[in-house]
Structures are given as C-alpha cells and as structure tokens.
C-alpha cells in the first residue's frame, strides 16, 4: 500500500429524490472532508428542462432548501460539497444555496458555478445523428427538449482552486463529482491516467449511495445484508494507490468483498475500458482485500487517455404516455385478462393512426421474459396497458377504457391509470473541444 496523505469523502446522494437523512448523518459524523451529491439520472435532466420551460426560475435540484440546514454545521467547519445540483439551471441552484446559506448564518460562503453542459445549440448546428431514434437533431424541430454533455473533473478542480466551498453544475458526470476533489486535494494531474482511473474507481464506488452497502446486492434468500431498512451510505479513505471503503457505525447493510465487486462492475459495460469524461479506466485489474468490520481495501485500477468526444444525452418530447392497469385473480385469470386486452385493443382501433406505440403485459406472468420462464398457472395477474401518442385526449381516453374493464370481463379490480409527458432520451457524441465551459466562484 502506498503511503502519503489520506483524503476521506462520503456519498451524499445517488439521485434526484434520494433521502437526505444519510447525507445529514455523514455530515454530522465528522469523518468526511467532502460530500459528493449525484442528483441526476438519464431522464432527470429532460424532466428538469421541462420544469424550466414552465418557469425560468426552476429546473434545479428541488431539495436545496431542505438540505442546507442539515449541512450548516458541516459547512461552518470549512468542509466541502460537490454536486450536480444545477440540473437544467445552475444559476437557480446557486441562488437557492445563497439564500439558504444566508438564512443559517453562513453568508459569504463561496460557491463555484459550472456552466456550459447545455449544448442544444451545438447539437443543432452539428445536426447530430440519433441512431436509436432513426433521425437527426434538426429533424426533431421543437421536439428537442434537452441536450447536455457529461462534464468531467476539470471545471470542478478549477472551482476548488478558486476557493469554492460548494461546487455545483449541471450534467457533471457521476464519478467526476469525486475525481475533482481527489485530484485537487492530493495534487494529482488530470492527465496522470492511472491516478485519475484510481479516483474514478473511488467515485464509481460512492456515486450510487446504498448500492455499495448492499442495496443492489440483495437477492433474498441467497444474498442478504443486515438491517436493509437502514442502509448506510459509503465513505472512502483515499490515498495514492489504494482506497478503503466503509460506512458509518450503526448503519445497516454491509461493505465486504461481495458488495464491492457488485458495485465495481455495475453499469460500466466494458470493465477494461470504462469511458468517462476524465479517463478510459481499466477496472479489470482491480484488487479487493476484505479487512473485516465493513472495511474493504481496493486498488489496481489503470487508466488510458480520456475519450476525444463527450457523451451528450438528448431529451426528446414524444408526446404523452398513458398507462392503465386492472387485476384479475383466481381460476381463469389469464384468459380473462387476455379477453380484457382484446376488448381495449378493439376499442382503440379507430385511433390507430394516432398511436405511436401500444403494448399490453400481464405483470407477474409475461411482462419481463415473455414465455421463456413460464411456470405454473398464476393465482393472479395484472393487465397493464402502455400507450404513447401525440394526442392528449386520446391518452386520457385509453386510460378510461382500462377503467371501464370494471364492467367485464368478470372479476376485474384495482384499476389505476395515469397520463404523463413522454420523454425519450438517446445518446450522441460531440468533440470535447467544442464544449465551452464557464466557471465562476461567487460569495453567498
């Protein structure tokens, strides 16, 4: 194990609606110098852009008002926070932080604001191909909702070097929220690929919150962790060449070799070439040493130069999504549900030219695997309709048709339905040198 300074960082959030209690506990523990808040998922940015369209002062993370009072003592001690709280509106997030910091007596706290991940104009100018949707950006016209590039650690480092105690941006990439503080504090160059890969490994282990402490590991009865109702968030003790991941005492879950392996290989596609804005990371050589007591030491990540292009997630307005459900139980439940599907399909036939997509599933029977895992006859099924259309009235009518199944076939119950905007997301790629970032450090 390499010697030298140890930096301790903790997870504060894994997505936009995560619980705040674990972040408060991490802050109060006094164990971490940085808290990293991942506030976005694939569709979150498009949804945030929709909110901003309705209200120019909206589009940022909606938990800031509740979060700042929980972090007041932590921040007053000089410790730091990094997060993609900005979502579609980094300036609004900055204003929310400033207002709340002033309210808890922390006026003057320096906030680093990162702008430039919104690249809608750029992707229009380039008319990027969107192969998943079989179209190009310009062809979308007004249906283009959002286009945000995944931004790396460089602007985070710049903000920290400028004295920021809180750093926020829009689509800051998940592991980069931790790569920035690690490289800044430990003095690692952003083109020292092995060290940046090591920092990326740390970020990947923290970014998903309770995934690393057993949430995504549980598969009862084969794999369980203690007290899953009270899973702790992970924290990392980082030094050159190794990291020890653990969690707060008294919290549920587990940090052991099995939970760490589950998270290391989560959502990275190619373990030997995990592409991020900061590095091409090779996790195929990562070593694990279970130290006991919910402590695991990891090391051995390797890195190669970062990709020449940045991933952009393009959000597309696809009209409306209607869902409707009805349950059937007992003998003949499958046949009655199939009959119900037939009825609704026939009722919707006159509007076929206005329906972009329609499917029916028997949840608990064939919705995930078709007939590939067919078992015995079920005791109950739930028929689910999902429809996508540009016509809001048709969407509402389809939900009503599902509700009318109360009147036959026999035994239907538990109707539920909704009509919500249909937002699709699809990837594109832009040369990184075309994405112009701006970093500003302001006082609350």
DSSP letter string over 340-367? HHHHHHHHHGGGGGGEEEEEEEEETTTT
Res 1: pLDDT: 36
Run means of pLDDT, 10 residues per run, the chain, 444 residues: 78 95 96 97 90 95 98 97 98 98 98 98 97 95 96 98 98 98 98 98 97 94 95 97 97 97 94 98 98 98 98 96 97 96 98 98 84 80 98 98 97 97 95 98 96
* Spatial separation of the C-alpha atoms in residues 159 and 169, rounded to whole Å: 11
The DSSP bridge partners found for residue 287 are 299
- Cα distances from 21 to residues 25, 178, 234, 367, in angstroms, run 6, 20, 13, 35
CATH number for the domain formed by residue range(s) 314-427 = 3.30.70.100
* CA–CA separation, 321 and 273 (whole Å): 36
DSSP 8-state assignment for residue 235: E
Q: How many Å apart are CA 444 and CA 441, to the nearest integer? A: 10
Token look-up 């923290």 returns 206
pLDDT of residue 376: 83
Q: What secondary structure letter does DSSP report for 172? A: B
Crossing angle of helices 176-186/193-206, nearest 10°?
Answer: 130
- pLDDT tens, position by position, 128-144: 999 999 999 999 999 99
Query: In the prediction, which pLDDT does 373 show?
Result: 65
Q: Are 10 and 233 in contact (CB under 8 A)?
A: yes
Of the candidates 29, 30, 12, the one whose C-alpha atom is nearest the C-alpha of residue 21 is 12
Q: What is the pLDDT of residue 3?
A: 47
229-247-290 Cα angle (round to 5): 110
Report the candidate in 32, 39, 115 with the shortest Cα–Cα distance to residue 75.
Answer: 32
Residue with tokens 């310009």: 138
Tokens of 360: 């029916």
Residue-wise pLDDT for 370-409, tens only, equals 777 677 889 999 999 999 999 999 999 999 999 999 999 9
Beta bridge partners of 303: 281
Task: Give phi and psi for 432, each to the nearest 5.
Answer: -60, -30
Cα distance between residue 363 and residue 426, in whole Å: 27
Name, in order, each residue with C-beta under 8 angstroms of 97's C-beta and a sequence gap of 6 or more. Answer: 64, 68, 85, 109, 111, 166, 168, 444
**Reported pTM:** 0.94
Annotated domain spans of the chain: 7-116+151-307, 314-427
What is the rounded distance in angstroms from the CA atom of residue 30 to the CA atom of residue 373?
Answer: 49
- Is the peptide bond between 150 and the residue preceding it cis, with omega within 30 degrees of 0? no
DSSP state string for 176-211: HHHHHHHHHHHT--TT-HHHHHHHHHHHHHHTTGGG
CA 237 vs CA 186, 200, 202: distances in Å: 12, 14, 9
């Amino acid at each position: 194990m390499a010697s030298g300074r140890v930096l301790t960082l903790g997870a504060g959030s894994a997505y936009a609606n995560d619980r705040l209690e674990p972040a408060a506990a991490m802050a109060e523990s006094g164990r971490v110098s940085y808290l990293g808040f991942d506030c976005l998922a694939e569709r979150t940015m498009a949804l945030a852009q929709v909110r901003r369209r309705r209200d120019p002062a909206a589009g940022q993370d909606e938990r800031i008002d509740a979060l700042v009072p929980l972090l007041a003592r932590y921040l007053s001690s000089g410790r730091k926070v990094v997060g993609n709280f900005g979502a579609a509106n980094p300036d609004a997030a900055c204003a929310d932080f400033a207002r709340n910091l002033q309210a808890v007596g922390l006026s003057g706290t320096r906030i680093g604001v990162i702008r430039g991940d919104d690249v809608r104009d750029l992707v229009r100018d380039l008319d990027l191909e969107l192969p998943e949707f079989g179209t190009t950006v310009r062809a979308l016209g007004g249906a283009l909702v959002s286009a945000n590039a995944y931004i790396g650690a460089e602007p985070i480092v710049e903000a920290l070097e400028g004295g920021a105690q809180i750093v926020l941006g829009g689509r800051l990439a998940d592991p980069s929220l931790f790569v920035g503080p690690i490289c800044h504090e430990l003095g690692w160059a952003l083109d020292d690929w092995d060290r940046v890969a090591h920092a990326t490994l740390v970020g990947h282990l923290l970014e998903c919150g309770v995934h690393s402490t057993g949430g995504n590991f549980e598969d009862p009865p084969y794999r369980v962790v203690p007290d899953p109702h009270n899973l702790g968030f992970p924290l990392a003790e980082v030094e050159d060449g190794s990291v020890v991941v653990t969690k707060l005492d008294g919290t549920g879950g587990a940090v052991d070799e099995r939970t760490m392996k589950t998270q290391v290989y989560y959502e990275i596609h190619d373990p030997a070439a995990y592409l991020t804005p900061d590095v091409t990371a090779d996790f195929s050589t990562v070593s694990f040493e279970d130290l006991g007591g919910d402590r695991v030491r990891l090391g051995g990540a390797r890195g190669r130069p970062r990709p020449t292009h940045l991933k952009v997630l393009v959000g597309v307005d696809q009209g409306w999504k209607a869902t409707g459900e009805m349950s059937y139980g007992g003998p003949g439940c499958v046949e009655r549900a199939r009959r119900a599907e037939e009825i609704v399909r026939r009722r919707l036939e006159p509007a076929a030219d206005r329906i972009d997509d329609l499917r029916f599933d028997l949840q608990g029977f064939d919705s995930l695997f078709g007939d590939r895992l067919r078992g015995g006859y079920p005791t109950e099924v739930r028929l689910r309709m999902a429809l996508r259309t540009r016509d809001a009235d048709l969407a509402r009518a389809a939900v009503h048709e599902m509700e009318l199944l109360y009147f036959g076939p026999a035994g239907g119950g538990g109707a539920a339905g909704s009509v919500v905007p249909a937002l699709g997301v699809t990837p594109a790629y832009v040369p990184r040198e075309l994405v112009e970032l701006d970093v500003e450090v302001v006082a609350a």
